[in-house]
Amino acid sequence: MKDTVELIKKHKLIAIIRNVESEDLLPLCQALYDGGVRLVEVTFSSDGLSDEKIGRDIRLISEHFDGRLVVGAGTVITKKQVFLTRKAGGKFIISPNTNRSIIRKTKKLGLVSIPGALTPTEIAYAYSFGADFVKVFPTEALGGEYIKAVRAPLSNVPLLAVGGVDLANLKEYLKAGVDGVGIGSNIVHKGYIEQKNFAAIRCLAHEYVEIIESN
């Protein structure tokens, strides 16, 4: 668990994979890896995809990359999903909300806990429950100035910015003091995946990684 925490702090970027066909997962992840990404989140779905299917996707990535690319789960709202992630070789749990029982289950299974929160009260509660990082979500309506303001009294809480982070504002969030960002369709571009244009995704990933490494 400690190693995963350090990897998140080092690489700062978690690419969010949502509703991607299993046949596209490995070429997509290879493109992300070639672009410099070292952490990916596979999200559980509310659109009819079974939890077991997501578990199989996490296992596929985990076994293929064998530690070179660290995989975790997103949109985790049940203890079953935490268990399936651990069983599949996932290393971290990301949720859209703060749920004390999910955080406790995550920690009990030796995984990194990243619940979602927005207000200072929610962020402080999430951290007090044992979260390793707190995902500030959604950040797009509030921006880097909000992160900077929150960090002033809560500088001890490692924060991730998720929601609307792109090439234009990534530097703003880094300067505001986040420990990392989660980025979905701005890297994991649906159109490129449909076109099997994984080279374009590799180039996108490289652009984000380049900004992070230079700031």
**pLDDT (0 to 100) of residue 181:** 98
Q: How many domains is the chain partitioned into structurally?
A: 1
Q: Which domain holds residue 23?
A: 2-213
**pLDDT (0 to 100) of residue 2:** 78
Q: How far apart are CA 174 and CA 177, in angstroms?
A: 5
**pLDDT (0 to 100) of residue 94:** 98
Instruction: Determine the distance from the C-alpha atom of residue 115 to the mean position of all C-alpha atoms in its chain, rounded to a whole number.
Output: 11
**pLDDT (0 to 100) of residue 1:** 75
**pLDDT (0 to 100) of residue 148:** 95
- Amino acid 53 reads K
**pLDDT (0 to 100) of residue 184:** 97
Q: Report how far apart the first and last C-alpha atoms of the chain are (Å, whole number).
A: 26
Q: How far apart are CA 68 and CA 82, in angstroms?
A: 22
List the structure tokens of 130.
């044992």
Ordered mean pLDDT values, 10 residues apiece, the chain (215 residues): 93 96 96 98 85 96 96 97 98 98 98 97 98 95 93 97 96 97 97 97 98 96
Dihedral angle sign, alpha carbons of residues 192, 77, 154, 108: negative
- What's 135's domain CATH number? 3.20.20.70
- Residues of 76-93 as b/e, b for ≥16 C-beta within 10 angstroms? beebebbebbbebbbbbb
**pLDDT (0 to 100) of residue 45:** 84
